Amino acid sequence: MKLLLKAVTIASAIVATQTLADSWTLAPEGSHLAYGTIKKDTVGEVNSFTILSGHVGPDGKAEIEIDLSSVETSVDIRNERMIAHVFRNAGTASLTAEFDMGEISTLGVGQTTAIDVEAVLSLVGTNVEFDAEVFVVRLSETSVMVSTNDMVFISTEDAGVNAGVDRLMELANLPGITRTVPVTARLIFNADSSQTSIAPVAPTAVAAVNGDVKAGKKVFRKCRACHQLKQGLHEVGPSLHGVIGSAAGQTPGYGYSAPLRQSRTVWTTETLAAFLADPKGAIPGNRMQFSGLRNAKDIADVIAYLQAESQG
């Protein structure tokens, strides 16, 4: 259980590091904190906490609260015993951590990273310091997911709950319950609503790409079903006139999806290449139906064609 709490702290801290907003709030509906136990050497169980709350501040400090009364073991009497004997009716446990916001602030939408986090869990009067590696995914400009990269293991002795576990064994007439608990966490944080407005991204100069313009014109035939190169001519998709060096989702006259509009992506040769290879992976949630170009040469060629034919 304690392990569980630790994982949560780690995750929240990570979220703070990678986002662009000043503060972020935990989204309980998409978050999940679970731990495992083994009884009688062979019986494994997965339990969880269903009520989580918390936030990450502009200083990179994460504070998470776990409602201990929300423990879910799938058996009512076991829930009651956990609350009374292991958690000693403490109400909540808290997790705190601080992170270097600059470490992952450069992540683009769809990009991931793994970072090490140090945190403190406060549970039934005991403070436990721990560290873990967490995996961070930037889901959108306003949403980040943090999860434990590996299982985190916590001893019940370090957590100060050995006596409660002993009591559980006695009440359930069990020969043993493991004293090292594996914990996993998936935490989703959303930017506070007052900070979700996205400032326009200025266009930028982009170097020429090494591709075959003539070959790229042929590749572009796959794009013509939705896109035109004439300025202002939007069809199923927006006009691609002047796309190289422009800000994604900002061309006037076309109704872009929110994920694209809020991505703060600038269409350089690198970002466009990544998007053409995997549109859904590069900017999750956008409405583009094309699955992507699989051939790297085709991507380089069509970007060269766009750069030559749609600028100016």
Residue 120, CB half-sphere, CA atoms under 13 Å: how many? 9
- Residue 204: inside a domain: no
Segment 172-197 mean pLDDT: 81
If asked whether residues 55 and 160 sit together in one domain, one would say yes
Q: What are 155's strand-pairing partners? A: 180
pLDDT for residue 13 is more than 60: no
Distance CA 160, CA 35 (A): 17
Note the pLDDT of residue 257.
Answer: 84
Q: Of 168, 195, 222, which one is at a domain's C-terminal end?
A: 195
Query: Which residue in the block uniquely carries the two structure tokens 């062979």?
Result: 42
For residue 187, the one-letter residue type is L
Q: Which residues contact 259 (CB under 8 A, 6 or more apart)?
A: 109, 140, 141, 283, 284, 285, 286
- HEC sequence for 272-306: HHHHHHCHHHHCCCCCCCCCCCCCHHHHHHHHHHH
If asked whether residues 6 and 79 sit together in one domain, one would say yes
pLDDT in tens, 113-169: 888 888 888 899 999 888 888 888 888 777 888 898 888 888 899 999 999 999 999
If asked whether residues 85 and 228 sit together in one domain, one would say no
Classify residue 312 as exposed, middle or buried by CB count within 10 Å of its CB (0-12, 13-18, 19+): exposed
Q: Of 161, 195, 229, which one is at a domain's C-terminal end?
A: 195
φ, ψ of residue 34 in degrees (nearest 5): -135, 155
pLDDT in tens, 51-105: 999 888 877 788 999 999 999 999 999 999 999 999 999 999 988 887 665 665 6
Q: Of 160, 195, 230, which one is at a domain's C-terminal end?
A: 195
Distance CA 53, CA 172 (A): 32
Query: Who has greater pLDDT, 298 or 108?
Result: 298
- What is the DSSP pairing of strand 32-39 with strand 61-67? unpaired
Question: Would you tell me how many other CB atoms lie within 10 Å of the CB of residue 296?
Answer: 11
3-state SS class at 22: coil
- Residue 202: inside a domain: no
Q: What's the distance, CA 27 to chain centroid?
A: 11
- Global confidence as pTM: 0.57
If asked whether residues 150 and 229 sit together in one domain, one would say no
Q: What are 92's strand-pairing partners? A: 67
Please choose, from the candidates 163, 154, 159, 4, the residue with its C-alpha nearest in 3D space to the C-alpha of residue 84: 163
Domain range for residue 184? 2-195
Q: Copy the structure tokens of residue 166.
A: 């002993």
Where do runs of H (alpha helix) occur along the chain?
Answer: 2-18, 76-81, 162-172, 213-219, 258-261, 269-277, 279-282, 296-309
Domain count, the chain: 2
- Residue 53: inside a domain: yes
If asked whether residues 116 and 230 sit together in one domain, one would say no
Distance CA 6, CA 311 (A): 52
If asked whether residues 132 and 41 sit together in one domain, one would say yes
Buried b (16+ CB within 10 A) or exposed e, 248-285: bbbbeeeebebbbbbbbbbbbbebbbbbbbebbebbbb
If asked whether residues 145 and 35 sit together in one domain, one would say yes
pLDDT in tens, 199-228: 444 444 444 567 899 999 999 998 888 899
